[in-house]
Structure 1
Amino acid sequence: MTADQLLTLVVAVLGGALRVGAPFLFVSLGECLTEKSGRINLGLEGVLVLSAMAAFGGAYASGSPWIGVAAGMLAGGLLASLHGVLCSLPRVNDVATGIALMLLGTGLAFDLGKPLIQPQAPQLPALALGGWSASPAVQAALQLNPLLPLGVLLALALGWLLRATRIGLLVRMAGDSADATRALGYSVAGLRIGATTAGGMVAGLGGACLTLFYPGSWNEGISSGQGLIAVALVIFARWSPLRCVGAALLFGGAGALGPALQSVGIGWGYHLFNVVPYLLTLAILVASCRPGRLAAGSPGELSAR
């Protein structure tokens, strides 16, 4: 491999990590907020797919990608709020409800999104950061999602909110000890419904990334399981919004490895490299979820289940 090919490969992996990692970032931040309140939302895959369809449909109907982004957030928040309300009922299991909501969200998206498979909706304008290079490959690799800086700022804001504000303290208290929260006169159900709804809206931005930037179209296989992978990503990030940024880039880079190798003429094992994110997810779950050992940073209510 020549020096130019090596540089192209490195830039392609970096650019791919930023593009592919954007949906991971938003979905993992949404799940991080939800789990901090003591609730697991395995329905994130349904939230992601439904918000991706809603974002594409909103942009197509209105002619504005930003209205599409708002539609994706709204759809994600509505489905997540349903999960939050159902899980607040007596004797309702978070995991079983999440699986049901995943099926509901994907089913609704597939049914309502059938007319959107062929049309093309307006796309989010890219941030061109490759102007310093004369290489077309570098310029193409550094066409970044305009929502990505928002995701980084959101991670910073969420970290500050959970650490230094009253509402953040209440969310963490609900996640660490429901009994203590009730003893102080606060509604555990209300806090968890609010956190789950807000988490769904954040995850909805990830759906908008999929259909309004990369890959930039709507089809029934758009998410490739990213909503479920995000649950493992949050464990890997130890429930820290700031660590979610690095974890999302790592998963994004793993997903971009195959296309990056293909861009420099290495086609062998292309499909093998496409499974790297899933192998990474499996490795994280095996390493982090051992019987009798609590993962560092895990909310107390989740550890007690």
Structure 2
Amino acid sequence: MSDNTLFIVFIAILGGALRVSTPFMFVALGECLTEKSGRVNLGLEGTLVLGAMSAYAISYHTGSPWLGVLAAGCAGSALGAMHGYICKLPKVNDVAIGIAMMLFGTGLAFFFGKAYIQPTAPRLGSIPLGDWTGNAQLATALQINSLLIIGILVAMAMSWAFANTKWGLIIRMTGDSAPAAMAMGVSVDLVRFLATTAGGFLAGVGGAFLSLYYPGSWNQGLSSGQGLMAVALVIFARWDPLRCVAAAFLFGATGAIGPALQSVGITQGYYFFNAAPYILTLFIMIASAGSKRASRDVPGELSITK
């Protein structure tokens, strides 16, 4: 490849990483919060899809995409609260319930979303960060959405709260040792219920990004498994919110490799490169299975550790 071609590919991957990473980021932050409290929620794929549909429908009917974002968060919270309530019942496995909630959320989205496949809803706007460069390609790549900035700020706030606040300590203690939390007078079920509900809100907002910004439409194949991949991302990030952001950018960049190569006329192996995020997920799961660091950082109350 020539230097100019390499530059175009780099810019395309950079732009793709900024766009594609945002849903990963929100779902990963939601799952990170949930797992920090000692619960696994594999239903976030359904939450993501239902959030996308809810955001698109509300934006279409109200004309306000930000109301759509709020509706997506509320829909995600509802599924998260349902998951949290069911999981506190005796002899209930949170992994099995998560799978059921994934199917339930996806089914709801497909059923109520049929009417919104054709109509066009108002979309979220872009923030131009690269106009000062004078390069049209770079300016286009550096167009970002406000949700990207919000996601980074949420990650910073979560990281600070886990380390410096009473609520952060309670969540970490609940996730590491339920008996210790109960000995301190903490309601383990309530903490996990609230964490799962808040995690669902974040995942729902991630779905709003998909339908209202990139790719910016509603259809039944919108998610492509991003909710499930975010669970692997959290393990890769070792349950650290800031590392979740970095991992989301990595996933976003791998997802942008195929379109970036296609933009310069390289079509051979296109579908293989499109599968890069799924291959990365597989490698992460294999590597994490024997990782001493992951074993050290994993919350002790997670069902996957028992």
Give 1:152's aligned residue.
152
Deviations 1:240-282 (A, max 9, x none): 0000011000000000110011112211111110111001000
- Per-residue deviation at 1:60? 0.6
SS in 1 for 2:49: helix
Are 2:7 and 1:7 aligned? yes
Q: What are the equivalent positions in structure 2 for 1:159-238 lying under 5 Å apart?
A: 159-238=159-238
Partner Cα distance (1:179, 1:146) in 2: 41
TM-score relative to the length of structure 2: 0.97
Matched, 1:287 2:284: no
Structure 1 spans left out of the alignment, 5+ residues: none
Structure-2 separation of matches of 1:212 and 1:149: 16
Deviation at 1:186, TM superposition (A): 1.1
Structure 2 counterpart SS, 1:251: helix
Return the offset for 1:126: 0.5
Moved more, 133-142 or 194-203: 133-142
What do the CA deviations read for 1:113-162 (whole angstroms, capped 9, x no partner)? 00000011101110112213444333322221221011101100000111
Number of paired residues? 305
Instruction: Say which is worse superposed, 37-46 or 289-298, in terms of deviation.
Output: 289-298
How many Å separate the matches in 2 of 1:176 and 1:241?
17
Q: What are the ranges of 5 or more consecutive residues in structure 2 without an aligned counterpart?
A: none
Which residue of 1 is the match for residue 74 of structure 2?
74
How do residues 122-161 of structure 1 correspond to structure 2 at under 5 angstroms?
Answer: 122-161=122-161
Structure 2 CA distance for partners of 1:24 and 1:186, relative to 1, 3 Å: same
| Aligned position for 1:88 | 88
Deviation of 1:294 after TM superposition, in Å, equals: 5.7
Q: Could you tell me which amino acid in structure 2 is paired with residue 251 of structure 1?
A: F
Aligned-partner residue type, residue 169 of structure 1: L
Q: Distance in 2 between matches of 1:71 and 1:39?
A: 25
RMSD: 1.4
Q: Cα offset for 1:295? A: 2.3
How many angstroms does 1:291 deviate by? 9.8
Identity across matched positions, percent = 59
CA distance in 2, matches of 1:139, 1:292: 42
Q: Which residue of 2 aligns with 1:31?
A: 31
| Worse-matched range after superposition: 4-13 or 56-65 | 4-13
**Residue 291 and residue 165 in structure 1: after superposition, are their counterparts in 2 closer, same or farther (change >3 A)?**
closer
Post-superposition offset of 1:79? 0.4
| Distance in 1 between residues matched to 2:293 and 2:230, nearest whole Å | 21
Determine the C-alpha separation between the residues in 2 that align with 1:19 and 1:4: 23
Q: Deviations over 1:77-120 (max 9, x none)?
A: 11011000000000000000000000000000000000000011
**Cα distance in 1 between the residues matched to 2:294 and 2:69:** 37
Quote the residue 1:64 is aligned against: 64
Say whether the 8 Å CA contact 2:39–2:192 is kept in structure 1.
Answer: yes
Counterpart of 2:278 in structure 1: which amino acid? Y
- Give TM-score, length-normalised by structure 1: 0.97
